[in-house]
Structure 1
Amino acid sequence: MDDPITTLDARFSDPGAAPTTWQAAVEVLENAQITWLTTVRADGRPHVTPLVAVWLDGALHFTTGPEEQKAVNLAVNPNVVLTTGTSAWDRGLDVMVEGPAVRVTEAAQLARLAGAWRGKWTGQWQYEVGDGAFRNDVGGTALVFAVDPAKVLAFGKGTYTHTRHVPRG
């Protein structure tokens, strides 16, 4: 998502507060070390788990093993929420990305994403590309998903703000 429509929800924001800019929300997504993924089980119960995500080309990307609960849930219901921020109540910015998770299988895009994972933190996330997925050095497979945001919520703390970013059109 680029250049979204940005609105402040005054009901949940300090008087006179300005909305969180799209650039500030993206910066949180780009720099997050841990992101929490919420999926929905077949019986409707939520499933939440921490993972490493990468922001690239206006979408948030994550991986999961094909047998993991995340993958099982996504096969039934692709709708997810990815959440990141800080656990402090009086400072920082929390950001939530909502949208459907779509599997990435195209080799050139997977190669770009593998490079993005390698470039994050200290380079400890090393993936190779093969058969429409990531492969790691111990022979494991990681399916790659992209979430093109249907909505992004940003919650500023200290000066409290509740900002909504949605795609244009």
Structure 2
Amino acid sequence: MSDPVTRLDERFSDPGAQATSWTTAREALENAQLFWITTVRPDGRPHVTPLVAVWLDGALHFCTGPGEQKARNLAGNPQVVLTTGCNRWDEGLDVMVEGTAQRVTDRATLERLATAWAAKWDGQWQYQVTETGFSHNGADDVHVFSVRPAKALAFGKGDFTHTTHGFPA
């Protein structure tokens, strides 16, 4: 993954503010315990739900059961936004990743992702790799998706900044 083109949007930033570096935004993605995913229903309405995700190989990865609303939405429209941050207005960093969710079925990648999930949460998320994804707590068909950023937005709070990280196609 090449480094993104980073730009501070001065319209929404404090005077003299500096852009949030991609390194800082990426670290927030790597360390976040919870994300909110936004998908689009077939009728165009948004659907938002919390989930856990891991950053690996320049992408965010998440899981869902095939019958869940987000999986049904992704079947018709793979465009998503994954959001993480904090619920304070005066401190912290919120980061949003826009991109296309792609199903992961490569066994070697799934093995690495299962290891990453277990490591990130000290063994609390244990996935077994199957031919089509993961198995978890009796669910035999857990779909795994990867989202490479097309664009990432970083919103610094306290010292307010609005940074866009654009990724060349």
- Provide the aligned length of Structure 1 versus Structure 2: 169
The answer for the alignment partner of 2:67 in structure 1 is: 67
In the TM superposition, what whole-angstrom CA distance separates every residue of 1:42-66 from its partner, at most 9, and x where no partner exists? 0000000000010001101100001
Task: Using the TM superposition, give the Cα deviation of residue 132 of structure 1 relative to its aligned residue in structure 2, in angstroms.
Answer: 1.7
Q: What are the within-5 Å matches in structure 2 for residues 90-129 of structure 1?
A: 90-129=90-129
The answer for the alignment partner of 2:51 in structure 1 is: 51
Say which SS state the counterpart of residue 19 (structure 2) adopts: coil
The root-mean-square deviation of aligned C-alpha atoms, in Å, is 1.0
Q: What are the within-5 Å matches in structure 2 for residues 5-154 of structure 1?
A: 5-154=5-154
TM-score (norm 1): 0.97
The answer for the alignment partner of 2:166 in structure 1 is: 166
TM-score (norm 2): 0.97
Identity of aligned residues (%): 66
In the TM superposition, what whole-angstrom CA distance separates every residue of 1:15-38 from its partner, at most 9, and x where no partner exists? 000000001101110111110000
Does structure 2 retain, via aligned residues, the 8 Å contact 1:2–1:58? no
Q: After alignment, is 62-71 or 118-127 more displaced?
A: 118-127
Task: Using the TM superposition, give the Cα deviation of residue 142 of structure 1 relative to its aligned residue in structure 2, in angstroms.
Answer: 1.1
Distance 1:150 1:90, change over 3 A: same
Task: Using the TM superposition, give the Cα deviation of residue 113 of structure 1 relative to its aligned residue in structure 2, in angstroms.
Answer: 0.5
Does structure 1 retain, via aligned residues, the 8 Å contact 2:99–2:151? yes
Say which SS state the counterpart of residue 148 (structure 1) adopts: strand
In structure 2, stretches of 5+ residues that fail to align are none
Task: Using the TM superposition, give the Cα deviation of residue 2 of structure 1 relative to its aligned residue in structure 2, in angstroms.
Answer: 3.6
In structure 1, stretches of 5+ residues that fail to align are none
State how far apart, in whole Å, the 1-side matches of 2:137 and 2:42 are. 32
Say which SS state the counterpart of residue 74 (structure 2) adopts: helix
Does structure 1 retain, via aligned residues, the 8 Å contact 2:117–2:126? yes
Task: Using the TM superposition, give the Cα deviation of residue 141 of structure 1 relative to its aligned residue in structure 2, in angstroms.
Answer: 2.1
Does structure 2 retain, via aligned residues, the 8 Å contact 1:78–1:101? yes
4+ long deviations beyond 3 Å: none
